[in-house]
Structure 1
Amino acid sequence: MDLPSSLAWLVDEAAASPGPERFLAELGRRLLSDGLPLAGGALTLSVPHPIIARRTWLWRAETGAVIEALGFAAAPESEAGRDWLAGLGPVWEERIGPSEDGLLLGWAGIADGAGTFAADDAARLGDVARFAAAPLAALAAREARAALLEAYLGRRSAARVQAGALARGTGETIRAALLCADLRDFTALSEVTEPHAMIAALDAWFDRVAGAVHAFGGEVLKFIGDGVLAIFPVAVASAEPGADGASQGDNIARADRNACEAALRAVAASRAGMAHLDQIRQAQGLAPLPFGAALHFGEILWGNIGAADRLDFTAIGPAVNLVSRLEGLCKPLGRSVLISGAVAANTQTALTPLGEHALRGIAEPCAVFALPED
């Protein structure tokens, strides 16, 4: 059977597409080659995610470029793909598979005044939709799995797990800035607060700190009660010898500084966010949410740890222990943020030295610094 290029690709190769963006771009390119008069295309998938309900990819035939639009769960459902296609020309659209799968494939034709696709072209696009059902179902399943893993593990950890890093004890040693933070007097607050209000307070706290971590390129590894552990890994690419004449050692030092500076910016943004939240709570007659946070820099083992049938993709090592102990020093020292000497040595930010302090379970005293405005 001699199939058009687009249909043959859907049968033989499309299921191996690395993602919906590449799938849509390649399918659109092949439809153009097969003679279909297209101005653009749109592909929408529903995803199981706490914030994002739908992801839509928009392809423009003139440039071959694909952009992504997100539909959020809290927002009214919109037809981003259809609305965008309607601005290009007549629209052909078809739902792929069961309606609950949320798979929608659409195309815009070349605007010619008729306002519709020619009957033959519409029939050919119907064939494309039927042939696309199987590879799109595979792509949708992969995207759903990725969305779930990212929601529960974080983007970098999810990528490692999807790449096959599943065996217990597997991992790698990486350099990273670490952030450890938790709320003060949380136990006492929880005893006098209704459970739903306590959950809302925790969510608001985690939104501020996790939002700041993600904004500056970090990743939340875990929430532990009212606590957060996050990392800012050293970017491997920036540690390689560059074309600017810098040595490998210079680039490594620069990458270390970048990670520490990102962590410092994130903790400053967290403090600003919490100050604003406390103003809102005060206006509502609620108690503020004081917190403590610590930053450290060092090597960690990042990988699979746990029981044979229940694993956690997390970080362990002396650096993790130190940042946790350092955070426990915030309340005795009357500071909301404490910074280790390892971070202070990797930043140009002005910090206030607080001397060396012994940390429980840590052999050597730790040089401790604070933010000047703290």
Structure 2
Amino acid sequence: MQLSSTLAWLVDEASTVPGAEHFMTRLGERLVADGLPLAGGALTQAAPHPIIARRTWLWRADTGEVIEALGFGSLGAVGLEPASVGRDWLTGLGTGIVQENVVGPTGDGASDAPVLGWAASRPLTKAESELLLEVARFAAAPLGVLAAQSTLAALLETYLGRRSARQVLAGQLRRETGETIRAVLLYADLRGFTELSEATAPTSVVAALDAWFDRIAGAVHAFDGEVLKFIGDGVLAIFPVGERPASAACDAALRAVAAARAGMAYLDRERAGQGLPPLPFGMALHLGDMLWGNIGTADRLDFTAIGQAVNLVSRLEGLCKPLGRDVLISGAFAAETTRDMISMGEHRLRGIADPCPVFALPA
């Protein structure tokens, strides 16, 4: 039996497309070219991700546009219907004709199997309906490849962060010099964490750490920053300068700091209501160049940040408690922003040759 051009494409080429969005676009276009009266399509897949439970790609035949809808919650959540978003959207196209097929061999009813759904502009013939069923069967292999690639990327980003994940996916698996990044560096650290650990049950300590990291990392990511490392109870994050002015990166970092401080203030009020102590912290901001690359043994590597800028921002944070401030800013950073700063004088930082002009934010 000779395969149709669409089924042959699914066998020979579909696994090489850049992702599910392009898969839906090209598959929908091919089916329309085959004469199927499609108004739109939807592909829903489970997503191995700590926050996202499912992803649905919605394709419109009239515009060729694909939009993505995310479903949040655990994969095993009771009552979770992975295809419901796609089904509702297809029904909303107004044609009244919807066909859904589980991707894979006929009879595969696994709850986490991908689902392909289609909305048609007229009733489908038996041959057209059977072709869509065959498409779902033949789509299992290429979608399996694309899902594996997506899963790997999601796992690497979860544990390594976006920047390191990209390097690993690109094959950076040897000890190398790395890349020099000009960026605003943010270093944040909890104060009195050792004492908290000694006086508090381990489960409560982990809960406090998670709450702290949620507020710091959430604020960083909200303003286009990137968390590079969790270091004990500390966080190292960057706001890369790139093509934009350094002042723009500084402003983004200041907005992230404001959001993090507000988040921690709210958390401390919640903890007080539960009879728990506050979580004091210190944060420092600096603008400079850092080296980001692989270090370690030949067969066990880790991405890390190296350079005077990294040393300076971590030492600067150490001045927060002696100076009675929760945020301190280096002279290099202050020179690039128009925001009002309070001079705290010059200070010698351990391991840094030259005195560092130090600034603080207005109350």
TM-score, normalised via structure 2 length: 0.93
| Counterpart AA for 1:340 | S
2:122 pairs with 1:96: no
Answer whether contact 1:295 1:340 (CA < 8 A) is retained: yes
CA distance in 2, matches of 1:266, 1:358: 27
Please list every run of 5 or more consecutive structure 2 residues that lacks an aligned counterpart in the other structure.
Answer: none
1:138 alignment partner in structure 2: 145
2:273 alignment partner in structure 1: 283
Matches within 5 A, 1:68-217: 68-74=68-74, 77-78=80-81, 79-88=84-93, 89-97=96-104, 99=110, 102-110=113-121, 112=122, 117-217=124-224
Deviations 1:285-309 (A, max 9, x none): 2111110000111111112122222
1:325 alignment partner in structure 2: 315
CA distance in 1, matches of 2:346, 2:238: 24
Partner secondary structure for residue 119 of structure 2 = strand
- The alpha-carbon deviation at position 255 of structure 1 amounts to 2.4
- The alpha-carbon deviation at position 226 of structure 1 amounts to 0.9
| Counterpart AA for 1:84 | W
- Identity percentage of aligned residues: 68
| Counterpart AA for 1:298 | G
2:247 alignment partner in structure 1: 257
Please list every run of 5 or more consecutive structure 1 residues that lacks an aligned counterpart in the other structure.
Answer: 239-253
Matches within 5 A, 1:288-299: 288-299=278-289
- Residues 167 and 257 of structure 1: is their aligned pair in 2 closer, same or farther, counting only changes over 3 Å? same
1:267 alignment partner in structure 2: 257
CA distance in 1, matches of 2:322, 2:92: 62
CA distance in 2, matches of 1:307, 1:86: 56
Deviations 1:207-259 (A, max 9, x none): 10000000011111111111111111122xx3xxxxxxxxxxxxxxx522222
Deviations 1:114-140 (A, max 9, x none): 6xx432211010111122111111001
- The alpha-carbon deviation at position 8 of structure 1 amounts to 2.7
Kindly report the root-mean-square deviation, in angstroms, between the aligned alpha carbons of the 2 structures.
1.7
2:51 alignment partner in structure 1: 51
| Counterpart AA for 1:275 | A
Answer whether contact 1:180 1:294 (CA < 8 A) is retained: yes
CA distance in 1, matches of 2:47, 2:299: 27
CA distance in 1, matches of 2:164, 2:66: 26
Deviations 1:34-93 (A, max 9, x none): 111111111122222111121111111121111111111257624211221222232222
1:32 alignment partner in structure 2: 32
| Counterpart AA for 2:114 | L
TM-score, normalised via structure 1 length: 0.90
| Counterpart AA for 1:13 | E
2:362 pairs with 1:369: no
Matches within 5 A, 1:216-235: 216-235=223-242
CA distance in 1, matches of 2:293, 2:227: 14
- Residues 101 and 307 of structure 1: is their aligned pair in 2 closer, same or farther, counting only changes over 3 Å? farther
| Counterpart AA for 2:11 | V
Answer whether contact 1:71 1:77 (CA < 8 A) is retained: no
| Counterpart AA for 1:44 | T
| Counterpart AA for 2:173 | L
| Counterpart AA for 1:286 | L
